[in-house]
Chain A
Amino acid sequence: MKEIQLEAFLTDVEKPSRYIGTEWNSVHKEISGDMTRFALAFPDLYEVGMSHLGTKILYHTLNRRSDVFAERTFAPWTDMEREMRQRKVPLFSLESRTPLNQFDMIGFTLQYELSYTNILNMLDLAGIPLRADERDHTHPLIIAGGPCAFNVEPLAPFMDVIHLGESEEALHEIVSTYRECQRHDPRNRKFLLERLQDIQGVYIPSFYAPRYHSDGTLEGLDKLNGKAPDRIQKAVVRDLDKVDYPTEPIVPFLEIVHDRMMLEVFRGCTRGCRFCQAGMIYRPVRERSKEELLRQAEALIRATGYDEISLTSLNTSDYSQIQSLVKTMVDCYGPAGIGLSLPSSRVDSFSIGLLEEIQKVRKTGLTLAPEAGSQRLRDVINKNVTEEDYLSAVRDAFGAGWTGIKLYFMIGLPTETDEDIAGIADLAEKAVQIYNSDHKGGQNRRKPLRITISVAGFVPKPHTPFQWEAQDSVDELKRKQKLLKDRIRNRAIHLNWHDAEVSFLEAVFARGDRHVADALERAWQLGCKFDGWTEMYRHDLWMKAFQDTGVDPHFYANRIRPLNEVLPWDHLDSGVSKDFLMVEREQAWSEKTTPDCRFEDCQQCGVCPDLQVAIQLKGGHSDA
Chain B
Amino acid sequence: MHKYRVQFEKGESVRYISHLDLSKLFQRAFRRAHLPVAYSEGFNPHPKMSLASALRLGFVSRSEYLDVELSEEMDPALVHSVLQKSLPAGIQIRIVRVIPDDAPAAMAVINAAEYSLMCSDLLVAPETAEAALQALLDEDELMVDRETKKGMKRVDLKPLIYGAVVCSDEKKNASIHLLLAASDQGTARPEEVAALLCQKGFCPGEGNIHIERIGLYRRYPDGELKTPLEVLSKDSMVKPE
Contact = CB atoms under 8 A, between A and B. Distances in A.
B28 interface: yes
Given A16-B57, A22-B88, A23-B88, A253 B21 contact: yes
A255 interface: yes
A219 to B, nearest CB: 54
Which of A253, A254, A306 gathers the greatest number of chain B CB atoms within 10 Å? Answer: A253
A22 B89 contact: yes
A16 B58 contact: yes
B207 interface: yes
B85 to A, nearest CB: 11
B58 A11 contact: yes
A17 B14 CA distance: 8
A299 B157 CA distance: 52
Contacts of A304: 28, 32
Nearest to A24: B88
A23 B91 CA distance: 12
B58 A10 contact: yes
Given A10-B58, A24-B88, A307 B31 contact: yes
Contacts of B90: 22
Contacts of A301: 31
Interface residues of A, number: 22
A22 B14 contact: yes
Interface string B12-50: 011011101100110111111000000100000100000
Contacts of B29: 24, 305
A550 interface: no
Contact of B45 (A24, A253, A255, A337): A337
Contact of A10 (B16, B24, B31): B16
Interface in A304-361: 304-307, 337
A227 interface: no
A20 interface: yes
B30 A17 contact: no
A17 B18 contact: yes
A305 B32 contact: yes
A402 to B, nearest CB: 15
B92 interface: no
A8 B210 CA distance: 10
A372 interface: no
B236 to A, nearest CB: 34
Given A10-B58, A11-B57, A253 B17 contact: yes
Given A11-B58, A22-B89, A251 B17 contact: no
A24 B13 CA distance: 11
Nearest to B207: A8
B90 to A, nearest CB: 6
A303 interface: yes
B38 to A, nearest CB: 11
B30 A305 contact: yes
B57 A302 contact: no
A251 B14 CA distance: 13
B21 A255 contact: yes
Contact of A253 (B25, B30, B32, B39): B25
A210 B13 CA distance: 50
Interface in A7-39: 8, 10-11, 16-17, 19-20, 22-24
Interface string A357-400: 00000000000000000000000000000000000000000000
Nearest to B30: A305
Q: Interface range on chain B: under 10, 10 to 19, 20 to 34, or 35 or more?
A: 20 to 34
Contacts of A20: 13, 16
B8 to A, nearest CB: 15
Contacts of B58: 10-11, 16
Contacts of B57: 11, 16
B183 interface: no
Contacts of A305: 27-32, 86
Nearest to A22: B13
A306 B86 CA distance: 13
Given A11-B58, A22-B88, A303 B32 contact: yes
Nearest to B56: A11
A251 B28 contact: yes
A20 B89 CA distance: 12
A146 to B, nearest CB: 29
A23 B30 CA distance: 16
Contacts of A24: 25, 28-29, 32, 88
A11 B194 CA distance: 16
B88 A11 contact: no
A17 B21 contact: yes
A16 B32 contact: no
Which of B32, B45, B89, B207 gathers the greatest number of chain A CB atoms within 10 Å? Answer: B32
Nearest to A254: B21
Interface in B187-207: 207
B240 to A, nearest CB: 36
Contacts of A11: 16, 57-58
Contacts of A253: 14, 17, 21, 25
Contacts of B16: 10-11, 16-17, 19-20
A457 to B, nearest CB: 36
Contacts of A307: 27, 31
Contacts of B88: 22-24
Nearest to B89: A22
A17 B10 CA distance: 14
A11 B58 CA distance: 6
Contacts of A302: 32
B49 to A, nearest CB: 13
B222 to A, nearest CB: 37
B45 A254 contact: no
A8 B209 CA distance: 10
A211 B30 CA distance: 61
B210 to A, nearest CB: 9
B39 A337 contact: yes
A565 B28 CA distance: 55
A597 B45 CA distance: 44
A302 B207 CA distance: 41
Contacts of B20: 255
A22 B86 CA distance: 14
A307 B32 CA distance: 10
A301 B17 CA distance: 23
A544 B102 CA distance: 68
Contacts of A255: 20-21, 24
A202 B102 CA distance: 66
Interface in A602-623: none
A254 B32 contact: no
Interface in A133-169: none
Interface of B: 13-14, 16-18, 20-21, 24-25, 27-32, 39, 45, 57-58, 86, 88-90, 207
11 contacts: A8-B207, A11-B57, A16-B57, A17-B16, A17-B17, A20-B16, A22-B13, A22-B90, A253-B17, A304-B28, A306-B28
Given A17-B21, A20-B13, A305-B86, 11 more contacts: A8-B207, A11-B16, A16-B58, A22-B88, A24-B28, A251-B28, A253-B14, A253-B25, A304-B32, A305-B29, A337-B39
10 smallest CB-CB distances across A and B, nearest first, come from A305-B28, A305-B31, A11-B58, A16-B16, A305-B32, A22-B13, A253-B17, A24-B88, A253-B21, A17-B17
